[in-house]
């Protein structure tokens, strides 16, 4: 029954999936000729880890605020482009060229968080005055589309429309028997999943998390219990900015390439992962994001780039036809979404 799946603790289920994944990789690695495939699985999971962080950012705003935040892919892009811009201009000052990439990436993450809070200030605060109005949902949606275009064009104006290569490449390989694992890849997967698990713990076990879940179910009841909704809502934006920033920074570390349009690809894949896993549950976003990363990487490996896109979206449509609630979702729209 789907209800029992969704009520099981996500951490336990995820640990199970992770162990199964490690076992599969190990098995592939010892098979003759399997090690390149194992390599692909590892890359797929790493790419999936980036999708997971972005998918969870979407899930959080949809779950708590019933709001599809269009600026999320842009926040991801901002991190990469701002970090690139900072390091090209030699910022932060005083560090030798080989050293300043880390603070530049942190700067990119900070800009993503800041931009997310600006979006909250100018889209979501309208809810306070327009509550119950027909415009209640339209205003944040339309304003977030507006911010998407503003941020994108600011980047085009100041940083240009070209794809850029990050000046420093991060390469350090770990040899595990026949398997070569990029240390940045491994660290990325662990970091993105770590951030997501931390978030899931925050939602489940802290006072702020309970307040967020109460707002998700009923802002009116939360208010009557003493929750200052207008003060808690920015936390949602701060967290989604952080998730997008981490995802953007990890993307830079692994691929070195940034462009003003890098958000679109990751954004659509993250949404695909979120829907595939089950709309509205963090666990669904984790599983779906990893799955999309795997499908894409393996698709490219076996069939080439264009066919990989067909594979991802084909699987998504097939799953939606067979299981509209997603692979792991219980389809509880409105209540208990997180």
Partner 1 sequence: MLLDVADLEVRYGRTHAVRGVSLSVAPGEVVTVLGANGAGKSSLLKALAGAVRPAAGRIWLAGQDITALAAPDRVRQGLVLVPEGRQILVSLSVRENLLMGAYCRRDAEVGRDIDAIYDRFPNLAARRDMPASVLSGGEQQMLAISRALLARPKLMMLDEPSLGLSPLLVSRLFGLIGELNREGLAILLVEQNTRMALRAASRGYVMELGRVVLDGPAEKLANNDALAAAYLGGH
Of the candidates 299, 333, 292, 325, the one whose C-alpha atom is nearest the C-alpha of residue 46 is 292
Q: Name the one residue in this structure whose structure tokens are 């920074």.
A: 249
Nearer to partner 1, 134 or 224 (CB): 224
- Residues 324 and 331: beta-carbon distance below 8 Å: yes
CB of 336 to partner 1, least distance (A): 3
Nearer to partner 1, 44 or 63 (CB): 63
Cβ burial, residue 228 (10 Å; 0-12/13-18/19+) = exposed
- The C-alpha torsion from 79 through 162 and 265 to 189, rounded to 10°, is -50
Positive or negative CA dihedral for 22, 51, 258, 166?
A: negative
Nearer to partner 1, 136 or 228 (CB): 228
User: Which residues face 173 on adjacent strands?
Assistant: 182
- What is the contact surface with partner 1 in residues (CB under 8 A)? 207, 210-211, 213-214, 216-218, 220-228, 332, 335-338
**Tokens in use for 152?**
């994108």
Q: Give whole-number Cα distances, 97 to 89, 142, 212, 249, in Å.
A: 10, 41, 42, 18
| Number of alpha carbons in the 13 Å side-chain half-sphere of residue 38 | 23
Which long-range CB contacts under 8 A does 126-133 form with residues at least 24 apart?
128/230
């Amino acid at each position: 029954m789907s209800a029992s799946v969704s009520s099981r603790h996500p951490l336990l289920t995820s640990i199970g999936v992770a162990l199964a994944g490690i076992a599969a990789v190990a098995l592939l690695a010892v098979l003759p000729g399997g090690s390149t495939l194992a390599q692909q699985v590892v890359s797929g999971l790493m790419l999936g880890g980036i999708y997971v962080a972005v998918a969870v950012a979407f899930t959080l705003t949809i779950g708590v605020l019933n709001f599809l935040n269009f600026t999320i892919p842009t926040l991801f892009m901002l991190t990469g482009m701002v970090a690139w811009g900072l390091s090209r201009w030699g910022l932060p000052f005083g560090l030798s060229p080989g050293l300043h990439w880390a603070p530049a990436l942190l700067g990119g993450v900070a800009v993503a968080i800041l931009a997310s809070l600006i979006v909250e200030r100018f889209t979501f605060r309208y809810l306070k005055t327009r509550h119950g109005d027909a415009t209640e949902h339209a205003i944040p949606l339309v304003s977030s589309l507006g911010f998407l275009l503003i941020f994108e064009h600011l980047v085009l104006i100041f940083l240009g429309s070209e794809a850029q290569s990050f000046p420093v490449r991060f390469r350090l390989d770990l040899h595990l028997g026949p398997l070569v694992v990029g240390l940045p890849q491994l660290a990325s997967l662990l970091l993105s999943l770590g951030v997501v698990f931390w978030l899931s713990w925050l939602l489940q076990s802290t006072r702020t998390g309970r307040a967020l879940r109460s707002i998700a179910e009923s802002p009116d009841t939360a208010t009557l219990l003493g929750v200052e909704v207008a003060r808690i809502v920015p936390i949602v934006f701060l967290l989604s900015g952080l998730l997008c920033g981490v995802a953007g920074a990890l993307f830079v570390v692994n691929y070195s390439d940034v462009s003003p349009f890098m958000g679109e690809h990751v954004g659509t894949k993250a949404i695909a992962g979120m829907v595939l896993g089950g709309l509205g549950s963090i666990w669904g976003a984790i599983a779906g994001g990893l799955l999309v990363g795997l499908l894409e990487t393996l698709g490219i490996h076996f069939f080439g780039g264009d066919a990989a896109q067909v594979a991802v979206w084909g699987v998504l449509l097939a799953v939606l036809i067979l299981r509209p609630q997603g692979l792991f979702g219980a389809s509880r729209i409105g209540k208990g979404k997180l």
